[in-house]
Amino acid sequence: MSDSESNQNEPSKRTPVGRLAVPVWIFIVALLLGYRGCIHIDNQGGAFAFDAKVYGPYRSPEELDQLKPIIGDDPTRKGAVAYAQYCAVCHQANGLGAPGIAPQLAQSDWVLAEKPDRLVRLVLHGLQGPIVVSGKPFNGAMVPWAQVLSDQDIAAILSYVRSNSDWGNDAAWVTPEEVKAIREAEASRNKPWTAGELDAFPVN
């Protein structure tokens, strides 16, 4: 057989080993199923759930809603948030304080006094030196908050602390008007209180 005859018997083109064509509709169905699956998991609060308004350590918008202050007659919700931000670092989240450093607020004779006059003054201008709280001695300092917290903030924090049943406290709330009156009365003060000075103010 001649070369020309051999070439004529060979296929002119080789059949390429190509990829199997997959219909486009299969990709579309797969994408739709994946999308619906993610939506379902998100609605169920699963691993893919995400909300740009929620940051750790909080896990859901509902949890954040529990911390929002209620506009109305109850200041303790706002007070709880402000206490956690400004006070808990020393007095602890449970109000038990730190031995020898920060007095307890739970079942404290200073906190539960009928009149909050001493407590408001202490928060506004701070404290320096020894103090005895519920029979326990402390000797340290408390920073003044007059330039940081408003009358409403201080009233909310003290209302939360004084009426916190989880701590065994059941004293009356403090109003912004009470804080404002004491702030104005002590407007010229520029130094922390001592326990002896505060003892001069009535507690009932």
Q: Residues 38-95: pLDDT tens digits?
A: 665 555 554 444 454 555 565 666 665 666 555 456 889 999 999 999 999 999 999 9
Mean pLDDT score, 7-27: 58
pLDDT band at 24 (very low <50, low <70, confident <90, very high): confident
CATH assignment of 75-198, among 1.10.1740.10, 2.60.34.10, 1.10.760.10, 2.60.120.1440:
1.10.760.10
Q: What letter would DSSP give residue 171?
A: P
| Percent of the chain whose predicted confidence (pLDDT) is above 90 | 60
Query: Where are the domains positioned within the chain?
Result: 75-198
Lowest mean pLDDT among 3-7, 77-81, 154-158, 185-189: 3-7
Burial of 156 (0-12, 13-18, 19+ CB in 10 A): buried
Rounded distance between C-alpha atoms, residue 136 and residue 19, angstroms: 83
Phi, psi of 164 (to 5 degrees): -75, 100
Write out the two tokens for 13.
């083109």
* pLDDT tens digits, one per residue of 142-171: 999 999 999 999 999 999 999 999 999 999
Mean pLDDT score, 110-116: 95
Mean pLDDT of the chain: 82
**β-sheet bridge partners, residue 191:** none
End-to-end CA distance of the chain: give it in Å, rounded.
127
User: Residue 31, CB half-sphere, CA atoms under 13 Å: how many?
Assistant: 5
Rounded distance between C-alpha atoms, residue 148 and residue 158, angstroms: 15
pLDDT band at 29 (very low <50, low <70, confident <90, very high): confident
pLDDT band at 13 (very low <50, low <70, confident <90, very high): low
